[in-house]
Amino acid sequence: MIPALMPSFDLSLRSYRIVAYCLALIACSMSIITPAVAQSVLRDAETEQLLIDMSAPLVEASELEPGNLDLVMINDPSINAFVAGGQVVYIHAGLINAADTANEVQGVIAHEIGHVTAGHVVRFNERTRAANGITILSLLLGVGAALAGAGDAALGAIMAGQQAALGSFLAFNRNQEAATDLAGARYLSGAGITGKGMISFFEKLRNQEIRRGYSQADEAAYGRTHPLSGDRIATLRGLLEEDPAWDAPPDPQLQERFVRVQAKLYGYLAEPWQTLNLYPESDKSAAARYARAYAYHKDAQVDKALAEAQALLDMEAENPYFLELQGQVLLESGRPEEALIPLRRATELTLNQPLIASMFGHALIATEDTANYPEAERVLRAAVARDRFNPFAWYQLGVVYAERGDIPRAKLASAEQQVMARQYPQALRSAQAAEAGLPYGSPDWIRAQDISLQARSELERLRDSR
């Protein structure tokens, strides 16, 4: 550091540290706090269809446009669900694992739809900016006091501002959550779905709070983003018990599908020994066989995994998800030719469901028989036409294009993957290469232009934010 550029005042070590602390907090306060999807997204055709079917009557009751609400599963063991912007509800795998019934999950979805309809994410950001304003002002006052040598006064200014901002923000958030509980109750009522699941799930949360030492005291509630579950239950119980739908019986088919998906998810995520302890071989239910099939597959016990898959197909020969399971085990065990029959049938039964069709396309390519590539291209193009946010399908499609020498479209498929992975420099290069080789004005040429523009815009935004 050049001595001539140093400030003329002297700082004590304590004041210097306070200034450094203030500047660090100012930097942190400049960013808007939003829920972050830090874990990976879990995608499964059967699970996604179940969530769509569970939420459909709630979406209708909320007067959202049918088909405009997306539900995304997150690989996170905590019991949580949230809305981070737009009409998307994120559900943690831990929530599915903790729920006892489909009705409990419907209660959570109803609550989250309330956040969507109320535009709470936008208001959350506005309130965070207001809280940041209070915080930054207090920090600047603290810097001024520290530079003047009043270290204690600086620290007092900082702490007072932080406390005011935090109290204001948390109170606002608790009010939002309470209002959303009531909205969720309305949507359950409008859909004719009992609110018993909502109450029982809040009781689970309350039991967790008790174990963690939370009380109903106002002091404890002050530092929380959500109202205490005991308060929420007391408010909602009287409202829901008076609703005509309170005694409505749950949908038995929906419950059976939920139990299967829950077991499937557990088998996929847990260690095999944990799955086999929870779902022992003595349990011959479809859910248990589902869980064990994934446990054995993960443990490289191929014959046992295939035996469980076959037992499921003996129960329901035309169940597309059981066929998908059988095909997946065969494919991932190095037997792609055998996987073609169940995966082709699963694709037909689900009318080319994108995730199942992508696996079928992968199996066709994995046979290394170029005679299968035209069918693979048709299947994969249909998959990405229905679901563009499927990087695996784009990768497989790129393999087909490259094999037949269509390098511009192979580059376009790479660009699709890269922009989804936020690899913007690579996406820009791939899209530009695709655009240069594609027929001018064709749909693929236009898509390459769109990706170029998106990548450039994101790169400029990232550069400006530094």
Does position 10 have pLDDT exceeding 70, yes or no? no
What value does the mean pLDDT take over residues 219-231? 49
Does position 336 have pLDDT exceeding 80, yes or no? yes
Q: Tell me: do 153 and 242 sit in the same domain.
A: yes
pTM over 0.85: no
Q: What interhelical angle do 354-366 and 373-386 show, nearest 10?
A: 160
Q: Tell me: do 108 and 148 sit in the same domain.
A: yes
Q: Tell me: do 180 and 276 sit in the same domain.
A: no
Does position 127 have pLDDT exceeding 80, yes or no? no
Q: Tell me: do 33 and 46 sit in the same domain.
A: yes
Share of the chain above pLDDT 70, in %: 75
- Last-in-domain residue among 315, 343, 369: 315
Does 152 fall in a domain? yes
Does 190 fall in a domain? yes
pLDDT at 84: 81
Q: How confident is the model at residue 232 (pLDDT cuts 50, 70, 90)?
A: confident
- Last-in-domain residue among 315, 348, 378: 315
Does 445 fall in a domain? no
Only one residue has tokens 């059976």, namely 256
Sheet holding 41-42, edge to edge: 41-42, 70-74, 88-92, 81-83
Give residue 292's domain range: 271-315
Q: Tell me: do 284 and 262 sit in the same domain.
A: no
Residue bearing the bigger pLDDT, 17 or 311? 311
Kindly report, residue by residue over 372-422, the tens digit of the pLDDT. 999 999 999 999 999 999 999 999 999 999 999 999 999 999 999 999 999
Where would I find the H helices in 33-98? 45-62, 93-98
Does position 188 have pLDDT exceeding 50, yes or no? yes
Q: Tell me: do 219 and 249 sit in the same domain.
A: yes
Does position 229 have pLDDT exceeding 50, yes or no? yes
Does 374 fall in a domain? no
pLDDT at 245: 93
Counted domains in the chain: 2
What value does the mean pLDDT take over residues 171-197? 82
Number of H helices, E strands in the chain: 21, 4
What value does the mean pLDDT take over residues 34-59? 84
Maximal CA-CA distance, the chain: 85
Dihedral Cα 85, 88, 93, 97, nearest 10 deg: 120
At 60 the three-state DSSP class reads: helix
User: DSSP class of residue 32?
Assistant: P
Q: Tell me: do 289 and 195 sit in the same domain.
A: no
pLDDT at 123: 44
Three-state secondary structure string covering 234-281:
HHHHHHHHCCHHHHCCCCHHHHHHHHHHHHHHHHHHCCHHHHHHHCCC
Does position 331 have pLDDT exceeding 90, yes or no? yes
Is residue 226 within 8 Å of residue 267, measured between CB atoms? no
Rounded CA-CA distance 189/58 in Å is: 9
Does position 33 have pLDDT exceeding 90, yes or no? no
Is residue 356 within 8 Å of residue 46, measured between CB atoms? no
Q: Tell me: do 17 and 60 sit in the same domain.
A: yes
Q: Tell me: do 139 and 236 sit in the same domain.
A: yes
Q: Tell me: do 17 and 135 sit in the same domain.
A: yes
Kindly report, residue by residue over 103-118, the tens digit of the pLDDT. 999 999 999 999 888 8
Does position 459 have pLDDT exceeding 80, yes or no? yes
Q: Tell me: do 302 and 189 sit in the same domain.
A: no
Residue bearing the bigger pLDDT, 131 or 274? 274
DSSP string, 362-400: HHHHHTT-GGGHHHHHHHHHHHHHH-S--HHHHHHHHHH
Does position 225 have pLDDT exceeding 50, yes or no? no
Rounded CA-CA distance 246/42 in Å is: 33
Does 456 fall in a domain? no
Does 289 fall in a domain? yes
Q: How confident is the model at residue 221 (pLDDT cuts 50, 70, 90)?
A: very low
pLDDT at 212: 63
Q: Tell me: do 260 and 235 sit in the same domain.
A: yes
Does 229 fall in a domain? yes
Does position 287 have pLDDT exceeding 50, yes or no? yes
pLDDT at 65: 86
pLDDT at 86: 75
At 138 the three-state DSSP class reads: helix
- Last-in-domain residue among 280, 315, 350: 315
Q: How confident is the model at residue 213 (pLDDT cuts 50, 70, 90)?
A: low
Does 240 fall in a domain? yes
Does position 126 have pLDDT exceeding 50, yes or no? no
Rounded CA-CA distance 450/433 in Å is: 13
